A and B are shown apart, each in its own frame.
Chain A
Amino acid sequence: MPLLSIFRKKTAQGCDYRIDRSHIKVGIPKFLNVWSTHRFWIGFLKALGIPAKNIVFSSDTSEEQYREFGKGRIGMDSCYPVKALAGHIGELLTTKKLDILLVPMIYSLPSFLKGHVMDTLSCTRVPMSVENIKAGFLKEGNEFEKHGVKFLNPFVSFAEPHLLPKQLYESLKEALDVTYDEVERAVREGLEELKRFDQKMRKKTREILEWCAQNNRPCILILARPYHMDPGIGHEIDAEFQSLGYPVVWGQYLPTDEDLMDWLFGADVEAGIIKSPFDISDVWTSSYSSNTNEIIWGAKFASRFPWITAVVRLSSYECGMDQPTYTPTQKIVEASGTLYFKFGDLDETKPSGSVKIRVETIDYYVKKYSPRIIERKLKRLEGRRVPGGFGE
């Protein structure tokens, strides 16, 4: 029936949508580990027939958002990234005219370290924060119902991708009138989209690092949780360094190409200290937390890569996952002579003055010591095959 088919919409794979969902508007708060999985959610919803224009993320975190939309919804004291969720939910609920508010409880994460570590779990607060903040919108009546919004908070474990279709189907089947097959296909699409984005970012980071090598310029590595990329959580401290002309890369998107891994970690693998370049058991034995594992691995990378001459650690006030890592991370980095600086106890207020003073100090040290650090780290790598883009 060619005439009928023009009314049907197609997915990227050419499969028919069972029903039209192009009118459904879905809001997703941009909080915690949505920062590292947002591409999955876009790919997933698009594959179910929801157009990109109807997938709405909340704004970046800000004090204004927190005050205006989150006030009175928080019933405990925790780190700011959790409390900020109230502002994100409140903003979406009251300003975006949504049909569905999708706030995933992300229990575990996709990670390039999977298989090399004990687990890739989220911080326990990441999934729990959803139930916690949701309660603030229910305590004096159901605010979601009042706004005609369906609140969906699927429990999802990215570390067990085979469970994702079931977990999402159970949560979305009624609200989106989807079949299991549709969800299964959409999960595949979402994971592919996330993978493509991840590869693109790693490629981009490699280009930056190669540029540093070719121009013999120091680079600054930010070690933080993914949501410190949120200007309201990480307070754009990375941008302060960029404005001084430093290339800045984030630990989450460091390149993992084989040639580079062999250059940096080959000696450790050959010495039997680690089983693979992604093994962190030599420095961190309780490798359960995905973000923690990646921070630790990032520190190892920085300690070896010649042109990363300074590591800047960002950490939120009361971060229980970061707390036990402070000393190990610093020691891993400093053992190689690389400079290490930490901006700790970050909260809702941007401490602009003190950040500025510290950035100036860091700039002084990076300028002064980088040539020596690069030279020393290159010397340590002598004898190993230099990967393309990093040689003379």
Chain B
Amino acid sequence: MEVVQEYRAYRPRPIKREERDKVTIVYGGLTWKHERLIQGALENAGYKAEPLPQIERRDLDIGKELIDTGACCPTTFTAGNLARFLKEKSEKEGKDKVKEGYAFVTIGACGPCRFGQYHESYERVLENLDFKDFRMFLLDLLQMEQNEGGIEITMPLTFGLIYSMFLGDLLTDMEYATRPYEVVPGETDRVLKDSIELLYQRLKERPQKGKKLGSLLWHVTTPYFANALKEVKELWDGVEVDRLRVKPRVKITGEFWLQTHEGDGNYNIKRWLEREGAEVIPPPIAVWMDYLIYMSLWRMEESREFVEKLWLKKAVVKLLLGLYHYTYNRLRKALNNIPNPLPPQEELRKLARPYFHHFLAGGEGFMLIGKALYAHLNKHAHMICELSPYGCMPNTMSIGAMQAVLGKHPDLLYAPIEVKGDAEVHALSRCQMILTEAKKRAQREFEEALERTGLTVEDIRNYEEDHPELKRATYKIPHYGYAGTSANYVVHVAKLMGRI
């Protein structure tokens, strides 16, 4: 009897150890900053590495042509991006060389959301471009799906990737806290580029200390990365800012790829918001990892009666969480705490609980609601801009649940923006409507702060003349209960002047 079925799932050829210096690892899906830093971590581990080209509008059209209809926009954009890379490389180097010389590594295994099935769409790309023998691997939470020595996820590489993520997040926070207030246009971008290159070199030249336990100990205790950030801080010390520019603070939330992305994939909305006069609070990737660790802790507690050695397992996860936050905060401190702290997951869960169960996994889960409420109630932002991809399964659900949140908190300025990738004017005009109200609130706050302190803008300018350190991008303005930077700045100067 013959075996009936001829269709088989895609299985990549393994990369052998001896191929390691011949095959370039290709990856993408994050910001150019994170991707450059990951390149440093991979090169440090002995791999050749190259990020995919930056996402462009044409990737959406390429993706639509190649994958099954009805995909969400992150799937379509990233599939199209992979296709463009393969086409362009083939034109330059020849198809066979691309098949042998490159391997694409992507994240998978997210579970119920389509994110865990992105690779199925990438397989359609490979199939339709006649690249079925091109190698693509799934990185399943730091565990390679297939591994025959060519790619090894070692402890040093894992830490390299985690630090790349942390450093990328922190520099992104620096960037968005500074650029709206920079006195010399373009200064932030220039310093940012230099900072990323410096950190790339540090990651690439990172000393190899031990394999497992030794490596773990070194990475959690070393001042190596904090020292690198102190060097970075010196670069940012030279950037002059004007914090008397009144700007609404807009917190970005939403689907993971779309909220992290900086480019055509989300209409470049962060840059657009800045051009429209806002200060953007970007979402760090580190929050997502924090969420996943907390979820494992809560799941353990949920099934506590059935978990052996619960206390030990909980202690290990809590230790992991402690080290995670300690490391992130230590790095923040090296940048004078300008980057935002990670939001407390327990608090987010509590805030979201009446509206969204914390075990509803998929996408950002309860965090979309928790983060919006946390920022609003603690006056960290004037407005929430939630970026939701067209066709995103989990994100649309939390947007629906936000109806009840807005019923209870009608003063929360919330702009859910559906991103299809090809309807820019519609999306941006929706955002602009809410932004107009946010601008008014920022202005009212600023005027209230001036009235409360009895200061005028001129008083503050005069004080700045005598205290130029206030105009440094790295000067930390404490939070005095206002959402806006300028209002908090007024109160801070008043305190320094002894006016309040």
- Which positions in B face A, CB cutoff 8 Å? 1-10, 68-72, 108-109, 111-114, 116-117, 119-121, 124, 127, 302-303, 305-306, 355-357, 359-363, 391-394, 396-407, 416, 418
Q: Cβ of B70 and Cβ of A131 under 8 Å apart?
A: no
CB of B447 to closest CB in A, whole Å: 33
CA distance A283 to B3 in the complex (A): 14
Partner of B70, one of A78, A289, A319: A319
Q: Cβ of B400 and Cβ of A136 under 8 Å apart?
A: yes
Residue of A whose beta carbon sits closest to that of B393:
A320
Partner of A132, one of B71, B114, B400: B400
Q: Cβ of A318 and Cβ of B70 under 8 Å apart?
A: yes
Interface residues on chain A, number (Cβ under 8 Å) = 71
CB of B376 to closest CB in A, whole Å: 17
Given A78-B396, A288-B112, A326-B69, 4 further pairs, Cβ under 8 A: A135-B404, A136-B403, A163-B306, A303-B5
29 interchain pairs, CB-CB under 8 A: A105-B357, A107-B359, A121-B111, A122-B112, A123-B393, A124-B111, A124-B362, A124-B393, A127-B357, A128-B394, A132-B400, A132-B401, A135-B405, A136-B403, A138-B404, A139-B404, A139-B407, A155-B360, A162-B306, A163-B302, A268-B5, A285-B119, A320-B114, A320-B391, A323-B70, A324-B117, A335-B4, A335-B7, A380-B1
- Which positions in A face B, CB cutoff 8 Å? 74-78, 82, 105, 107, 119, 121-125, 127-129, 131-136, 138-140, 153, 155, 160, 162-163, 166, 267-268, 271, 273, 281-286, 288-289, 300, 303-304, 317-328, 331-332, 335-336, 344-345, 377, 380-384
Across-interface contacts of A289 in B (CB, < 8 A):
112
Given A75-B400, A138-B407, A140-B407: A321 and B4 interface contact (C-beta under 8 Å):
no
CA distance A221 to B105 in the complex (A): 37
Residue of A whose beta carbon sits closest to that of B122:
A324
CA distance A195 to B71 in the complex (A): 35
Partner of A380, one of B2, B71, B404, B418: B2
Given A138-B407, A321-B393: A128 and B362 interface contact (C-beta under 8 Å):
yes
Q: Cβ of A267 and Cβ of B109 under 8 Å apart?
A: no
Across the A-B interface, the 4 shortest Cβ-Cβ residue pairs: A124-B362, A132-B400, A128-B397, A135-B404
CA distance A284 to B398 in the complex (A): 29
Residue of B whose beta carbon sits closest to that of A162:
B306
Across-interface contacts of A323 in B (CB, < 8 A):
68-71, 114, 391
CB of B329 to closest CB in A, whole Å: 32
CA distance A134 to B357 in the complex (A): 12
CB of A126 to closest CB in B, whole Å: 8
Given A267-B3, A321-B393: A286 and B120 interface contact (C-beta under 8 Å):
yes
Given A284-B9, A323-B69, A381-B1: A76 and B399 interface contact (C-beta under 8 Å):
yes
Q: Cβ of B393 and Cβ of A125 under 8 Å apart?
A: yes
Q: Cβ of B1 and Cβ of A286 under 8 Å apart?
A: no
Q: Cβ of B116 and Cβ of A384 under 8 Å apart?
A: no
Q: Cβ of A282 and Cβ of B8 under 8 Å apart?
A: yes
Across-interface contacts of A336 in B (CB, < 8 A):
4-6
Q: Cβ of B6 and Cβ of A326 under 8 Å apart?
A: no
Given A105-B357, A155-B357, A328-B9: A124 and B403 interface contact (C-beta under 8 Å):
no
CA distance A268 to B5 in the complex (A): 9
Across-interface contacts of A77 in B (CB, < 8 A):
396, 418
CA distance A332 to B8 in the complex (A): 8
Q: Cβ of A76 and Cβ of B5 under 8 Å apart?
A: no
CB of B5 to closest CB in A, whole Å: 6
Q: Cβ of A267 and Cβ of B1 under 8 Å apart?
A: yes
